[in-house]
A and B are shown apart, each in its own frame.
Chain A
Amino acid sequence: MRYRNLVISILFVAFYSLQPALGQSNDDCLMCHSDKTLTGQINGRTVNVFVDQQVLKSSVHKDVDCVSCHADLEGTDFPHKENVAKAQCVPCHDDVQTLYSEGIHGKAEEKGDPLAPICQTCHGSHNIIKVSNLKSAVAPIKIPFLCGSCHKEGAPVQVQRKIPEDHILENYSESLHGVGLLQKGLIVAATCVSCHSPHKILPHTDPQSTISRKNIAGTCTKCHSEIETVHRKIIKGKLWEQTPHILPACNDCHPPHKIQQPIYESNVANQDCLNCHGRPNLKSKDGRSMFVDAIILQNSAHSKIACSQCHNTVNPAHVRPCEGINSKVDCSICHATEGDQYRESTHGQLFAKNDPNAPTCEECHGSHNVLLTKNPLSPTFHTNIPNLCGKCHRKGEPAAVRYVGKEHDIIENYTESIHGKGLLKSGLTVTATCTDCHTAHHELPHTDPNSSINRNNIASTCGACHYGIKEQFAKSVHSVTFDKNNKKQLPVCNDCHSAHEISRTDASGFRLSIMNTCGRCHEKIAETYFDTFHGQVSKLGYSKTAKCFDCHGAHDILPVDNPESHVSHENIVQTCQKCHEGATRKFAGYFTHATHHDPVKYPILYWTFRGMTGLLVITFLFAGMHTLLWLPRSLQWRKQLKERQNSNTDITEADDNEKDDEKS
């Protein structure tokens, strides 16, 4: 623009120097206007019309003819008319003029508002110098005072026009920007025009305004270009600009003109809200209590958060700023990560479908009484979680009723599990509770590949606490990393430990059920185990004999040919010695999974069993036949004896007498 002006000036100068008879040179004007006492009439007022030649010569317009701006005097002869029009900037600065006329100042001027500023109000007239010159009226260091001349407290504009902000100049001068500019002399610090733009100033309600909700981020990032990297959680790339209705705008947290540190004072002070909402009997139209207990709020995790930061649709421009509130609080304004997780979770999906059972943030965290999770009084405190989730997931409650999976009596079983006992009976707050496995905000069914309890993720989930186990397991034969070609479904934590009924592994119940658990896949091996002493005692219901994991290990199971395996040639004797003190290498030769039904693998056992069975069969065949043949004869014999006895007892007596006689 400057060059254009220069070119135009040069052309003008050239033109007029060639045709001196036609033009009016500046010297012509200055002949009169260099008189310091020269006065003229403008709009009926007598004003001094002296033009300081020195000032003009040092201004940016020094080479511009007077009549270029005072165009209405062009071609007129001296003495020219009274009531000369204001100097026109348009012929040269038409682009700026357009911006100005679209702005609130230009519109006011168009309406004839006497308070409306025009170009000269800010830029001056014959004394206009470069902005970069600190003496310029619009130099950054002067801007706050320039704007403040109208917008300071008590100025006519501030009093007579609708300006939503108050104490603008004072607040600004105390703000981070103001202190930087005015106290530290940083001329790059934001001034009024940095945010409001110099010429097209619009109220923040106008979508085109540089300070509208939509544009504010763009405005601030002109200087704070790297702000996204430090505001990552909130802004996340371009999300800020794309979804401004979800994300907060800069000024939600950093109130305009008061930008200091992020102490979030708000446009609408809590006290203002509590004027009404502090009344216990305040009710909404549909009868809900609208009472907010200031003490509860004061003790909550949000004690330093202003009402309007959550209820962010309040509008301070309204008499009742809360008039604009017609939707629930969106916590993801600040808790963006949690909000995203929730929206992906089953809870969030149900909520999106308007399911009446879907829990919202408030359901778990409360509203004005929200407490930090580490506070024992919080419903989301570790030990309170089972009860909290139980509100819906306990047997008979809505979530349990609509649930179609295999897990039942979840809360009851959990309470009896090792985790439940640890948490609720031993008070170990580090014990896993619902949210440790299912996550707090990202609950998904186990079928979902993104779920924390999906088969592929469960080891990591459990490993978050049981890290040592996870490491062992990752090296074991059951790990997916062990054999990449394996197509079989491998067991994960809950296949052996269950989900909600996890018990101590040294408890009798677990020890006794493990054979069936392992047997689900290792069917044959489990069967042969039950043929041995170990298996038989287990069948009787006693846990004090070797179970699968006593020999094979639990999480570090490896194939026999792996030297690290508990049952490898290197380690087997030691493994036996765990129970059988004094076990030798020969002792370890015992077939722990022997069966006498396999002639190839265990010929000795097979033939021993065959031999014994043969002996048994032959003995019983022989004895059985003997007995069966005897039976009818024996019956007959009994009959004969009876007959003999009944017919004559005398005979016996006689016989005896006879015998006695013989003997005597």
Chain B
Amino acid sequence: MLYEMDNNKQKIDESVKGKNSGSNSRRTEIRQFQRFTRLNRVLHFFMILSFLSLAFTGLTLKFAYTGWAVILSHLLGGFESARYIHRFSAVVMISVFIIHLISLVKMKRKENKTWFQLLFGPDSMLFNKKDWQDFTGSVKWFLGMGERPPYGRWTYWEKFDYFAVFWGIFVIGSTGLTLWIPETLTHIFPGWIINVATIIHSDEALLATGFIFTVHFFNTHLRPEKFPMDIVIFSGRVSLEEFKVDRPDEYRQLVESGELEKYLVEPYQPIVIKAIKIFGWIALSLGLSIIIWIIYAMIFAYR
């Protein structure tokens, strides 16, 4: 994601303060690198909430033939209540999406960049040459034919996840709207688009949930070096040590440009970290239980 420090000045102040007030070495060690802004973290939080709600309510209908769906449907207060939750969550998710788009526009204005600079600059989310290099480098690394590529601010799989959301919002959102107001839309379109929309909505949802709860979960949380989870998306902070090893290219650039100091912040209190981890655990287990449910429904209970 395009990155923007809202309170650079403050961070620098803090860093300076830290230097003056205590031991240099300890401070630097404790201070962490700020990877995500508050807005990004809040948006992602709401993304998780709405995504899980959509998944549970939607899959309940998709897998209506499983006993679990019946139980869940009743837990959710009936299919009408589930439908309400589903549509409400959809509105939340689309709002998250729109707010993000607005934040991009704001950032452009703030940084006085042209769209070209924003889209094709070094921190852009668009795929570029480095991503190809990283990808081929990764494959070589996987196959034991090279070292771990020096990943930068955004890795290619992160960019893939990012654009998957764009795609998903478009595909699931448009078909979802068709199913929301079929009577209105069939003034224009033939009736069978409701059937088509049902298939696309349902299968794309399966793709989205399946991808997020397996591939995204593995890439970010479950892969051994991050296991069991990476809380950076909630705290926004990562230890310098980890940052240095994980994204050597970004670290190098920051050091070279001398901007690293701008991103160094005080870590959260342990109680905050604990709360984050509890939430993370809940989200993770919900996601994984959905995967189990999908596998059960698709393989064992399918008629």
Residues on A lying within 8 angstroms of B by beta carbon are 527, 530, 532-533, 535-537, 539-542, 544, 580-584, 586-591, 594, 596, 602, 604-605, 608-609, 612-613, 615-616, 619-620, 623-624, 626-627, 629-635, 637-638, 641, 652-653, 656-657, 659-660, 663-664
Main secondary structure of the interface of B (DSSP, over half): helix
**Residues A541 and B73 in contact, CB atoms below 8 Å apart:** yes
The contact sample of 22 A-B pairs, CB cut-off 8 A, is A530-B64, A536-B61, A536-B64, A540-B60, A584-B187, A587-B183, A588-B191, A589-B192, A590-B182, A590-B186, A590-B192, A626-B157, A629-B139, A634-B224, A634-B225, A637-B225, A638-B224, A638-B225, A653-B25, A656-B28, A660-B28, A664-B24
B142 A630 Cβ-Cβ under 8 A: yes
**What A residues does B224 contact at CB under 8 A?**
631, 634-635, 637-638
Q: How far is the CB of B160 from chain A (nearest CB, A)?
A: 8
Known interface pairs A540-B64, A540-B79, A590-B194; A637-B207 also in contact (CB < 8 Å)? no
Q: Are A589 and B223 in contact (CB under 8 A)?
A: no
Does B45 sit at the interface, judged by CB under 8 A?
A: no
Interface check B119, CB cutoff 8 A: no
Complex: how many Å from CA A537 to CA B29?
57
Closest partner residue, chain A, to B25 (CB atom): A657
Across the interface, do A616 and B203 meet the contact criterion of CB distance under 8 Å? yes
Which residue of chain B lies nearest to A542 when distances are taken between CB atoms in the complex?
B79
- Shortest distance in angstroms between B180's beta carbon and chain A's nearest beta carbon? 12
Given A540-B69, A619-B211, are A580 and B192 neighbors across the interface (CB < 8 Å)? no
Q: Which of A612, A637, A664 has the most CB of B within 10 A?
A: A612
Q: What distance in Å separates the Cβ of B65 from its nearest Cβ neighbour in chain A? A: 6
Tell me if B215 counts as interface (CB < 8 A to partner A). Answer: yes
Most central of A536, A627, A641 by chain B CB within 10 Å: A536
On chain A, the residues within 8 Å of B190 by CB distance are 586, 589
How far apart sit A659 and B29, CA to CA, in the bound complex (Å)?
11
**On chain B, which size bracket covers the interface?**
35 or more
Q: How many Å lie between the Cα of A183 and that of B219 in the bound state?
A: 123
Contact, CB under 8 Å: B203 / A609: yes
| Interchain CA distance A631-B223 in the complex, whole Å | 7
Q: Inside 8 A of B269's CB, which chain A residues have their CB?
A: none
Give the complex CA separation of A609 and B225 in angstroms: 38
A234 to B80, CA, bound (A): 66
Contact of B281 with A by CB under 8 A: no
* A641-B225 contact, Cβ under 8 Å, with A540-B73, A656-B29: yes
B residues within 8 A CB of A619? 207, 211
Instruction: Please state if A586 and B207 are interface contacts (CB–CB under 8 Å).
Output: no
B62 cross-chain contacts in A, Cβ below 8 A: 536
Top 8 nearest A-B pairs (CB, nearest first) are A589-B191, A612-B203, A629-B142, A539-B64, A587-B186, A536-B64, A590-B191, A638-B224
Q: Which residues of A contact B199 (CB under 8 A)?
A: 596, 605, 608-609, 612
Q: In whole angstroms, what is the CA distance A580 to B183 when docked?
A: 7
- Residue contact A612 to B215, C-beta cutoff 8 Å: no
Tell me if B241 counts as interface (CB < 8 A to partner A). Answer: yes
Q: What CA separation (Å) do A631 and B245 show in the bound complex?
A: 18
Min distance, Cβ B198 to any Cβ of chain A, angstroms: 7
Question: A652–B182 Cα gap in the complex (Å)?
Answer: 62
Q: CA of A627 to CA of B142 in the docked complex: distance in angstroms?
A: 10
B217-242 vs A, CB cutoff 8 Å, 1 = contact: the mask equals 01100011101000000000000110
Give chain A residues whose Cβ lies under 8 Å from the Cβ of B218: 627, 630
Q: How far is the CB of A484 from chain B (nearest CB, A)?
A: 36
Q: How far is the CA of A413 from the CA of B219 in the complex (A)?
A: 59
* B-side contacts of A535, CB under 8 Å: 64
Least CB distance from B138 to A in Å reads 8
A660 to B29, CA, bound (A): 10
Q: Which of B139, B179, B183, B192 contacts A591 (CB 8 A)?
A: B192
Tell me the smallest distance from the CB of B175 to a CB of chain A, in Å: 10
Given known contacts A615-B207, A631-B224, A633-B148, A605 and B187 CB-to-CB distance under 8 angstroms: no
Task: List the B side residues contacting A637 at CB < 8 Å.
Answer: 148, 224-225
Inter-chain contact A583/B183, CB cutoff 8 Å:
yes
Contacts of B245 in A (CB 8 A): 641
Name the distance in Å between A89's Cβ and chain B's nearest Cβ: 105
- Can you name the residue of chain B whose Cβ is closest to the Cβ of A644? B245
- Using Cβ atoms and an 8 Å threshold, which residues of chain A touch B275? none
Contacts of A596 in B (CB 8 A): 199
In Å, the complex CA distance between A588 and B199 comes to 18
Q: Which of these, A602, A608, A632, A635, contacts B200 with CB under 8 Å?
A: A608
| Given A537-B79, A660-B25, 19 other A-B residues pairs in contact with their CB atoms under 8 A | A533-B179, A542-B73, A584-B186, A586-B190, A586-B191, A587-B191, A588-B191, A589-B192, A590-B192, A594-B192, A604-B196, A608-B196, A619-B207, A620-B211, A626-B157, A627-B215, A627-B218, A641-B225, A657-B24
What CA separation (Å) do A624 and B217 show in the bound complex?
12
Instruction: Report B25 CB to chain A, min CB distance, Å.
Output: 5
- Residues of chain B contacted by A616 (CB below 8 angstroms): 203, 206-207, 210
Among B52-99, those with CB < 8 Å from A are 60-62, 64-65, 69-70, 73-74, 78-80
Asked whether A530 lies within 8 Å of B65 as measured between CB atoms, the reply is yes
Measured between beta carbons, the chain B residues less than 8 angstroms from A629 are 139, 142-143
Cα(A612)–Cα(B200), bound, Å: 7
Residues on A with C-beta less than 8 A from B78 are 542
B residues 126-145 near A (Cβ < 8 Å) are 138-139, 141-143
A602 vs B193: C-alpha distance when bound (angstroms): 12
